[in-house]
Structures are given as C-alpha cells and as structure tokens.
Amino acid sequence: MSTIDELVRNNSAYADGYESRHLDVHPSRRLAIVTCMDSRLDVFAALGLGDGEAHILRNAGGVITDDVIRSLAVSQRRLGTREVMLIHHTDCGMQKLTDDGFRAELQASTGVSPAFAIESFIDAEADVRQSVLRVRRSDFILHREVVRGFVYDVDTHRLKEIPVDDD
C-alpha cells in the first residue's frame, strides 16, 4: 500500500468520526500565516489554532513570492483577513542550498533553467525581516499595519519575534 493510499484510508476514518459543522470560508481570526513547508512545524498545534481560524500559506522557506502576495491579496480583499504572521524556522533546508547551485542542479537534470526564483537564504532572521518588508511594501496588500515576523525553533518549539524597522 502506498503512503497516499494509507492517507486516503485515514481520511475515511477521520470523516466517519467527524462531527459535522459548517465553517465559514472567512477565517474567524482574520489572520493569514505564511510559513515553511517543513514537516516538523505543526502550525495548528504550535499556535493553538483550530479549524477555520486562519489561512495557512506554505512553501519552501516560507518566503514571500509573487504567488504568496497573490494569495495574501485574495485572503485580505475577498476573505477578510487583516493580520499577517510570517514564520521561518531554525535548521531550514533553504539554508543548506544556494540559488546558483540549485538552479544549476535543476538545469543539469532537466536541460532547462527554472523560471522561478530559488530564494535560498543563510540567515533566517534576516530573511524574516526581508519578508516582512516585502509584504508591508506591496500595493496589493490592503492591511499592512499588522505584519509581524517570527523564527520558530524546531528543537524548543518556541517562537522568537524578529523586530523590523520600515526604514
């Protein structure tokens, strides 16, 4: 049995035992969270969130790409979110590669250079600051007054807020 088959079976058991209730499409906490796809970060457990409370946007590194800005714009303009929380983490895989090296690896493997940015980084705190500024400076984001950034420690499970000056 494949992993996906096992997960589909798990879903069936979950759905059979789920107490049916309708959740509004608008997140009840009016919050969007951008974070890394790292499997060690259980956003719901780490933040005490329940179903329907926040939008969770994940990608490699939790970086602010054009697609993340697109999703945040939809989240705010159509679905009512007003705050943005950015979470990077310690021991991130994006700190273990370089843009040029990974780009070359992809090109060597496929014969095509990727059109997307790799967005690797060395310093998680510095990248959080850059990410916060990208959101705050985007004209597509309506509510830029509450955009805060954090680094999650994968060993202690604690958040550290990263202060960001708009200068």
Q: Is residue 130 part of a domain?
A: yes
Buried b (16+ CB within 10 A) or exposed e, 39-53: eebebeebbebeeeb
Task: Count structural domains, the chain.
Answer: 1
* Residue, of 14 and 29, whose pLDDT is higher: 29
Q: Is residue 8 part of a domain?
A: no
Instruction: Calculate mean pLDDT across residues 5-23.
Output: 90
Q: Is residue 51 part of a domain?
A: yes
Instruction: Calculate mean pLDDT across residues 107-114.
Output: 97
pLDDT-based confidence at 167, cuts 50/70/90? low
pLDDT at 112 over 70: yes
Residue 31: domain span: 23-162
| Strands lying side by side in the sheet with 159-162 | 54-59, 31-36, 83-89, 147-152, 159-162
Q: What is the spatial distance between Cα 76 and Cα 39, in angstroms, rounded to a whole number?
A: 26
Hey, how many other C-beta atoms are within 10 angstroms of the C-beta on 73?
Answer: 15
| pTM summary value | 0.94
Q: Is residue 152 part of a domain?
A: yes
Tell me the average pLDDT of the chain. Answer: 96
Q: Is residue 155 part of a domain?
A: yes
Q: Is residue 14 part of a domain?
A: no
Give the pLDDT confidence of 25-79 residue by residue, as tens digits. Answer: 999 999 999 999 999 999 999 999 999 999 999 999 999 999 999 999 999 999 9
Specify the pLDDT at position 21: 84
Question: What SS3 class is residue 95?
Answer: helix
Specify the pLDDT at position 159: 98
Query: CATH number, domain at 130?
Result: 3.40.1050.10
Q: Is residue 53 part of a domain?
A: yes
Q: For residue 52, what are the contacts with CB-CB under 8 A and spacing of at least 6?
A: 23, 24, 27, 28
DSSP H helix total and E strand total for the chain: 5, 5
Residue type, 141: I
pLDDT at 166 over 90: no
Specify the pLDDT at position 8: 96
Q: Is residue 32 part of a domain?
A: yes
